[in-house]
Amino acid sequence: MVVLKSYGPFPAENFVSVKFKGFRGSSRSEVEFRLADLLCMNPNDWISLFLILSKDEQKYEPMVAYMKRILIFCIHEVANMDIEVAAVIKKKPVVKPEPELKDFRKVKLGKINIENWNVLYQRRDGEKVVKIIFFLLDKNLYPTAALNKILGLVEATKSSNADDLKCFTDMLKWYPTFRNTLLN
């Protein structure tokens, strides 16, 4: 979001809501939303909206306080899942990781398995090298350094389909950026 316009409070069933119009990126694509829609929006939009509201709070009164509370709640909810965000705001992630695969012999190191969107990688555990299955759904449980190593391995492995590789690596590149934006 680069621009935000407010269309004042209006009654909505048992509470007062506000309608907003936002514009995204250099293309200025238009998006209309209400307070209740915030939870369904892209987390990048939460961050942009929070920054816009923080710069000029008087312009968006009286609903800016409610909107900021909702946005802070959304960002804190990410900490219930993300290992690095949780460490900064001193919470503990409550998500369970995907179950491990039992038979590693059938899986090639660094090749993307699109059935469960996972990849086999290796890491050092003291003196030993351990094989681990990384599930894309569990990206929030891995530190950024580990995600970057997995990204490098996947990009260096030539056995994955180009489209699968793009989907997988786009998410591995986007997630640390999202995490770092929240942490800053």
Asked if 9 and 62 sit in the same domain, the reply is yes
Q: Give the bridge partners for 31, in sequence order.
A: 22
Cis bond upstream, residue 62 (ω within 30) = yes
Find, among 43, 132, 39, 118, the residue nearest to 85 by Cα: 43
Rounded Cα gap, residues 90 and 49, in angstroms: 24
User: What is the token pair recorded at 56?
Assistant: 């000029």
Residue 99 lies in a domain: no
Residue 112 lies in a domain: yes
Print the domain residue range for 179: 104-183
Asked if 54 and 123 sit in the same domain, the reply is no
Asked if 125 and 170 sit in the same domain, the reply is yes
Largest CA distance in the chain: 64
Residue 144 lies in a domain: yes
**Based on the structure, what is the number of domains in the chain?**
2
Residue 41 lies in a domain: yes
pTM exceeding 0.85: no
Asked if 32 and 69 sit in the same domain, the reply is yes
Residue 139 lies in a domain: yes
98-124: pLDDT as tens digits: 556 566 667 788 899 888 888 988 888
Kindly tell me if the per-residue pLDDT of 18 is higher than 70.
yes
- Binned at pLDDT 50, 70 and 90, residue 49 comes out as confident
Last residue of a domain, one of 40, 62, 79: 79
